[in-house]
Amino acid sequence: MLKVILSATIMLAFVGFTFVKPVLAASAQTGNTAETFVADNVQSGLAILNNKQLSAEQRRVQFQTFLLGLTDMKRIADFTLGQYRRDASPADLAAFEAAFQDYAVAVYQSYVVKYAGQTLKVTGSTERTPGDFIVATNLIDPNDHSGQPPLGIDFQVLTDTGKPVVLDFSFAGISLAVEERDQFTAFLGQNSGSIPKLISQLGVLTNNYKHTPG
């Protein structure tokens, strides 16, 4: 059964795995642009999900609008199809991109909401290729006195697309987009490459995440 392993990656982060850092150094000006983009926008997302003056449905709608403005969801969706994207019909590809968008919003919200009350701290950035940055952050819990390291999340940010956009984020060096691609392509391999079957399965998973308390 197709499923997301975000819970496993989060557990790995808490037990002290370290991030895999790119080795190329970022220019100060562009790196700061990517860092500022993450600091401002991701903190805004946390604020939406932490706003208990809104109903759960209002938080969901506002977070969806926020997330879709922050990410290049179409590009991420196409990446997760792997080699199956090449043979997908335009109709199947468009339907998958729409289903993936709903699924991704539901998944990300269900996990980010678990960190209510925490704040995001940018710790630096590195440049993989020109305009493609990894911004390292920590989620700081002011009530955590365990001595354990804070949860680290790396954001992949493109700054050469007219406005910065997020393409991926990683827990403990594990890319969520890559994990989704591996799971989706494994599912397609077991189902004769049927993208409609994958879309149907995403619909079931999306519904499950939307009904997760938050």
Q: What is the CATH number of the domain that holds 155?
A: 3.10.450.710
Output the DSSP codes for 111-159: HHGGGTT-EEEEEEEEEEETTEEEEEEEEE-TT--S-PPPEEEEEEEE-
Per-residue pLDDT at 28: 40
Distance from chain centroid for Cα 75: 13
Predicted pLDDT of residue 2: 57
Position 199 scores a pLDDT of: 97
Q: Is 85 part of a structural domain of the chain?
A: yes
Domain total for the chain?
1
pLDDT average, residue stretch 194-205: 96
Which amino acid does the sequence have at 143?
A: N
With a cut of 50, say whether residue 154 has pLDDT above it.
Answer: yes
Q: What is the mean pLDDT of the chain?
A: 79
pLDDT range class, residue 145, cuts 50, 70, 90 = confident
Q: pLDDT exceeding 90 applies to what percent of the chain?
A: 36
Does 187 or 143 have the greater pLDDT score? 187
Q: Is residue 1 part of a domain?
A: no
Interacting residues of 69 by C-beta distance below 8 A, sequence separation 6+: none
pLDDT range class, residue 56, cuts 50, 70, 90: confident
Any domain includes 125: yes
Q: What is the pLDDT, as a whole number, of residue 117?
A: 66
Residue 49 has pLDDT above 60, yes or no: yes
Q: pLDDT-based confidence at 22, cuts 50/70/90?
A: very low
Residue 29: inside a domain, yes or no?
yes
Is 15 domain-assigned? Answer: yes
Res 177 pLDDT > 70: yes
Domain that holds residue 91: 6-210
- Tell me the average pLDDT across 38-46: 78
